Amino acid sequence: MAILSDYEEEDQKQTESVKKPFNAVLDSSDPLRFLQTAFEFVARETDLFKKDSVIKDVNGLVRSVKEKLDADERKRKEKAVPAASNGGASVKADNKRAKEESSSSAPYQSGSAVKEPTDQKMEEANDDDKKGLRAPNNGNGLDMENYSWIQSLQEVNVTIPVPPGTKSRFIACEIKKNHIKVGLKGQPPILEGDLYKSVKVDDSFWSLEDQKAVTLLLTKQDQMEWWKFLVKGEPEIDTQKVEPESSKLGDLDPETRSTVEKMMFDQRQKQMGKPTSDEMQKQDILKKFMAEHPEMDFSRAKIN
């Protein structure tokens, strides 16, 4: 397991550093060439690339930067939503008052009342509660009291708030194939439990963001299944309401993209009470077989 963290102050004092100039120009149309130049410079001037863990460390650094950019983008979108909703607050208030006035002045009518969209959403939420399922958050995960998690088909991201100013050396984090444990040293764990499914330990990392939150990136072993929960014991989410980011399908290889599109199609079919692609294929095979053997009786044939 790789750990992305700040060096301790004591280690910084003891380590002798030699500063050497690095001259390179970043061409925005070819950023990888700039990275290659930087890596070659580091390889010449340091022993970094002589370490066995260099690939894992660099990979972890790239993941950490990408994760931070994604987190900043999510924060930007979250800030934009309230701003847009506040713009129509007065209109909604006027509409609400108008509905209340019309309902109070209108005579009583028998029959069923018309359901508002909000009522339908509340009924759906109540149905999930009856089933013991929760609706997923915007990241297809769940917001818990002490932490939150989101997921894609490939990985799970966990965010655990810690007291502001926390140093990385105070963090205790264990990521195992089927178990995680996160907290502050000398205190009970904030999050601990057996995972829903196994993860790739070598491709899973943790980092301290702005000294106020621990973030975990867990790479799934099975990258074709949505997790119903993070650790055993927490509520399950309704995976039929998971919304994959279709904009990212183009980044997948053809085989994986085909599988994801099939899963999305089957999910929509189940929600509408219609047969999945596998069930449709079985029905087609049976119809073809029946057409080729009219002498046989298929009146009791069933597809399991």
pLDDT digits (tens, 9 = 90+) for 38-64: 888 888 888 888 887 778 778 878 887
Please tell me the predicted confidence (pLDDT) of residue 86: 55
Per residue in 167-213, pLDDT (tens digit) is 999 999 999 999 999 999 999 999 999 999 999 999 999 999 999 99
Please tell me the predicted confidence (pLDDT) of residue 262: 81
Please tell me the predicted confidence (pLDDT) of residue 40: 84
Other residues' Cβ atoms within 10 Å of the Cβ of residue 2: 19
Q: Sign of the CA dihedral 49, 51, 52, 55?
A: negative
- Indicate if the pLDDT at residue 18 is higher than 90: no
Please tell me the predicted confidence (pLDDT) of residue 6: 47
Write the CA distances from 103 to 107, 109, 201, 267, integer angstroms: 8, 11, 60, 40
Report whether 201 contacts 175 (CB < 8 A): yes
| Separation CA 141–CA 136 (nearest Å) | 5
**Burial per residue of 202-235, b for 16 or more beta-carbon CB atoms within 10 angstroms, e otherwise:** ebbbbbbeeeebbbbbbbbeeeeebbbbbbeebe
% of the chain exceeding 90 in pLDDT = 32
- Indicate if the pLDDT at residue 214 is higher than 90: yes
| 3 state SS of 94 | helix
% of the chain exceeding 70 in pLDDT = 72
Tell me the whole-structure pTM to 2 decimals: 0.46
Please tell me the predicted confidence (pLDDT) of residue 169: 93
- Indicate if the pLDDT at residue 244 is higher than 90: no
Please tell me the predicted confidence (pLDDT) of residue 183: 95
- Indicate if the pLDDT at residue 80 is higher than 80: no
- Indicate if the pLDDT at residue 126 is higher than 60: no
Please tell me the predicted confidence (pLDDT) of residue 112: 38
